[in-house]
Structure 1
Amino acid sequence: MFIQTIKTSGLSHLSYFVASNNQAVVIDPRRDIDAYLNLAKEHECQITHIIETHRNEDLISGAPILAKSVDAQVLHGPNADQEISYATTVKEGYQLDIGDLSLEVIETPGHTKDSISILVFDKDFNQGPVGIFTGDTLFIGDVGRTDFYPSESEHVAGLLFDSLQKIKDKASMSIIYPAHGAGSVCGEGMADREFSTVQHEMKNNPLMQINDKSAFIQKKIAEHHYKPPYFADMEQLNAQGAPNYSSFQATSSVNITQLEKMRQQGHVLIDVRPIEAYLGAHVPNSYSLPLNMITAYAGWLFSLNDNIVIIANDQRMASCAALHFARIGFDNVNDYFATNMAMVAATGHDFATLDVIGAEQVNRLLESDWQLLDVRKITEYEKAHIDSSEHIFLGHLANKICEIPKSDKLITMCASGIRATIAAAYLQAQGYQNVKVFLGSMGAWKAKNYPTTSCN
């Protein structure tokens, strides 16, 4: 018997392949299912069941796709906000045997109303559960967010408290298998590791240490989480079952002339190279969104209906970017441009750049008419920010850009310069001419011992 973790970069998503005696169950699969099929083939296992621990908001579930591919049954918890068309509803106490393992469902609502956790028992040893798949109810170092029902904020926070008590009671000695790791938008305080036990979390997880229900509720409703607009699309797709995305490859290569024509026709040009490459030279009117930032910000800055052309170093990078886009529902990604900006310039085509400045230049420019735009999360901004800066979270830039006069002289900043570059590129592509990137951003500012302000 074994449990194999499948990690999805960018989304910090964790899914699991659980196998014993040539039988297997997959928990919380992602949209691209090859990893599960390969594991089944490698270990000569038949995938008989697929379990979703909750309604996914941040990625497309692969459950209906995998179920169709291997003829498996999908199981989903009760009290879903809408019918899960491809799944069978299971409730508290439902049991499933997989070889020498026994899985038991417990209802753990709070993050979503349909959240369940799965206890794992070794049938050869009558010693209680050895593991628990906690979905987005309990993470390593944190617990699930409870802000998806704004009108019921206290109620769902209370549900989560009760669910955590149930996990403590039923699985105190169990290994935890959560659905997300550090970097996920589903929690702020997750540890950067994938191993823990319920007992360890009870002693070290700040939220698990709160034993007063009222205090826990107040702590949860005071949290600040961002909810990208694409979450609503994910919820709908994951209720009806999203279609398979067969290739995950941007197979059509275009040249610079075709690229410009496509832009004029309304295609969105997204450069997924590292920011250093983009800052050096880039295709005019293109946006910057480095590969590892796609799943974090594409759903904020762009629409699922956009026809996207990827600008990348090569086809391999473009294909990887297309996969990241597809995991969050961007399916209109069919073309790429393998860029060599030196050759673009050598053939007489225009290229664009962004001005990059350091802390000393920023300090001088702020004495004139330049405005500092801080695009970090509000929690980062409140901890420490430059006194004269204006805060607009990067994810909100698309909606708030109309409030920024195009005549403004803007310096974008974040923690290091990556998000600042994405913001500056977005502004430049939208027609803003006076934009500079504060490279090093808050890190560089603090290194110079320049003053900061805290909201605490």
Structure 2
Amino acid sequence: MYFKQLVKEDLGCASYIMGCLNAGVCAVVDPRIDMVDEILTLATNRGMYIEAIIETHIHADHVSGHGDLARRTGARIYMHELAQVSFAHQELKDDEELLFGTVRVRVIHTPGHRPEHIALAVSDTNRGSDPWLVLTGDSLFIGDLARPDLAIPGLEGADALYESIFERLLKMNECVEIYPSHVAGSLCGRQMDAKTSSTMGFERKYNPALTVHSRAAFVRDMNENLPVRPPNMATIIERNKEDYTRHLPAPSPEPLDILSFQRAMKQGALILDTRTPDAFCLGHIPGAFQVSLHGSAFSTRVGFLIPLPPKKNLLLVVENTQDFTQASEQLAVVGYEHICGYLQGNMESWKAARLPMQKLEQLHVEELYEQLNRLVVLDVRDVREWCEGHIAGAWHIPFYELEQRLGELDTTRFYAVICAGGQRSALAGSLLQHHGFEQVFNIIDGMSAWRTLRLPEEWE
């Protein structure tokens, strides 16, 4: 038996290859669109033909690679019979079995995260008939359980998840290994462990999400403290339902000279500046959004900042062509496929042409402290961070809620935007400037610097 876990830490995604080396055949489970080349290389190097592509469910946080992989290999796509998708696929039923040489895969219908969700119990018949491992998809995570509110009303989803977990998966032998489709960093759960695999016995004993004893308490608990949903999740789900098995990849966007870049701007394309916060603050194209490519959670933060309609074009400002390649790949994973190009010569060419530029002024925390009487402090951190300590009198709007709550702010006030270290505050500052706020300041190093100087805080 051959088994390989592939993990992408940016969104906490895991895909799998499993098969029989002697028979030269394998199946791929939950392939992400940017994993396809790696999967093909691994299968080829092991002398295995990809016979099947199995999706545990319709994913909401990333674009699947099943269409590209099916087009390039001829493999059949498998999904549960409740999946309502437009592409050709083989419908799977509960307890159905698939064989790949000596590898046997049993389908376990485990709704809760989504109605069509399945887990896959995998046996190596060379060693025995019992399952060796189970691919739990988005049901049982390491140290957590899947959120129940993405496709089913939360209470109904949690009730179905209770049945899937306690009456199906936890009935398996404690030695069975667990491999989920999401790990730490994903928004599909709440408090996933950084480890990427476990055993049924260990999770049964130590997973905090399994300690709730009554069904009613479980349903209530699973609908509390859920991560906020990026607005582009609905777009990703619809994208993953469409037929991409015959679509050739779009040609790579080219660098755009200034005139071409401006032409695209006039046609309504939005600008995403992926440089560092410091570089952005020193000078950027007016109206540009800023999310640092090399900061934390790049693609997730773009999803919160720019909830694009499917056909909306995007222009990038990058430091170099390598950054453009990396940025466009990460954006494609979360559904931003209409990138019409990037600024040739980066911001240096824009400056040389003496075109209009905008600055996002920055303040050190000492300067902020001295000017608190004239500035409105806007704290854009998460609720948990806010409750652990914040500046007295500050307004709290998490950055991912700012677009919807702009009406609470006065465009004539002076706003000092702060987060933990300066990345989310620069992002939020760019959003405010995009919407016409002129007196905006980014606080350098944020609350980390404030606490280093032991400046006063209050708690809730």
- The two structures have a TM-score, normalised by structure 2, of 0.90
For the residue of structure 2 that corresponds to 1:290, the secondary structure is coil
What is the aligned partner in structure 2 of residue 361 from structure 1? 367
What is the aligned partner in structure 2 of residue 3 from structure 1? 3
Cα gap change, 1:149 to 1:453, in 2 (>3 Å): farther
- How far has the Cα of 1:445 moved from its partner? 2.6
Q: Contact 1:47/1:72 (CA < 8 Å) preserved in 2?
A: yes
Counterpart among 384, 389, 398 of residue 393 in structure 1? 398
Partner Cα separation in structure 2 for residue 389 and residue 243 of structure 1: 51
Aligned 1:91-106 pairs, distance under 5 A: 91-106=93-108
What is the aligned partner in structure 1 of residue 377 from structure 2? 372
1:446 equivalenced with 2:455 (yes/no): no
Counterpart among 140, 143, 146 of residue 141 in structure 1? 143
Partner Cα separation in structure 2 for residue 127 and residue 24 of structure 1: 19
For the residue of structure 2 that corresponds to 1:420, the secondary structure is helix
Cα gap change, 1:146 to 1:98, in 2 (>3 Å): same
- How far has the Cα of 1:330 moved from its partner? 1.5
Any stretches of 5+ residues in structure 2 without a counterpart? none
- The two structures have a TM-score, normalised by structure 1, of 0.91
Aligned 1:158-173 pairs, distance under 5 A: 158-165=159-166, 166-173=168-175
What is the aligned partner in structure 2 of residue 408 from structure 1? 413
Cα gap change, 1:55 to 1:380, in 2 (>3 Å): farther
What is the aligned partner in structure 1 of residue 238 from structure 2? 236
Counterpart among 196, 199, 203 of residue 197 in structure 1? 199
Please tell me the residue identity of whatever aligns with 2:159. G
Q: Contact 2:377/2:393 (CA < 8 Å) preserved in 1?
A: yes
Cα gap change, 1:360 to 1:36, in 2 (>3 Å): same
Cα gap change, 1:273 to 1:171, in 2 (>3 Å): farther
Q: Contact 1:250/1:322 (CA < 8 Å) preserved in 2?
A: no
Partner Cα separation in structure 2 for residue 100 and residue 230 of structure 1: 41
- How far has the Cα of 1:310 moved from its partner? 1.0
Counterpart among 113, 116, 119 of residue 117 in structure 1? 119
Q: Contact 2:87/2:245 (CA < 8 Å) preserved in 1?
A: no
Partner Cα separation in structure 2 for residue 416 and residue 243 of structure 1: 43
For the residue of structure 2 that corresponds to 1:104, the secondary structure is strand
- How far has the Cα of 1:207 moved from its partner? 0.4
For the residue of structure 2 that corresponds to 1:207, the secondary structure is helix
Cα gap change, 1:256 to 1:284, in 2 (>3 Å): farther
Partner Cα separation in structure 2 for residue 245 and residue 13 of structure 1: 24
Please tell me the residue identity of whatever aligns with 2:299. T
- How far has the Cα of 1:397 moved from its partner? 2.3
1:381 equivalenced with 2:386 (yes/no): yes
Aligned 1:168-187 pairs, distance under 5 A: 168-187=170-189
Partner Cα separation in structure 2 for residue 246 and residue 403 of structure 1: 46
Partner Cα separation in structure 1 for residue 191 and residue 171 of structure 2: 23
For the residue of structure 2 that corresponds to 1:111, the secondary structure is coil
Cα gap change, 1:61 to 1:149, in 2 (>3 Å): closer
Cα gap change, 1:86 to 1:297, in 2 (>3 Å): farther
- How far has the Cα of 1:118 moved from its partner? 0.6
1:322 equivalenced with 2:328 (yes/no): yes
Q: Contact 2:253/2:339 (CA < 8 Å) preserved in 1?
A: no
Partner Cα separation in structure 2 for residue 312 and residue 246 of structure 1: 26
Cα gap change, 1:139 to 1:454, in 2 (>3 Å): farther
Q: Contact 2:143/2:192 (CA < 8 Å) preserved in 1?
A: yes
Please tell me the residue identity of whatever aligns with 1:154. L
Please tell me the residue identity of whatever aligns with 1:228. P
- How far has the Cα of 1:78 moved from its partner? 3.9
- How far has the Cα of 1:255 moved from its partner? 2.7
- How far has the Cα of 1:335 moved from its partner? 0.8
- How far has the Cα of 1:311 moved from its partner? 0.8
Partner Cα separation in structure 2 for residue 333 and residue 248 of structure 1: 10
Any stretches of 5+ residues in structure 1 without a counterpart? none
Counterpart among 429, 436, 441 of residue 441 in structure 2? 436
Q: CA RMSD in A?
A: 2.4
The number of residue pairs the alignment matches comes to: 452
Identity over aligned pairs, percent:
27
1:38 equivalenced with 2:44 (yes/no): no
- How far has the Cα of 1:143 moved from its partner? 1.0
47-56 or 403-412: bigger deviation: 403-412
416-425 or 258-267: bigger deviation: 258-267
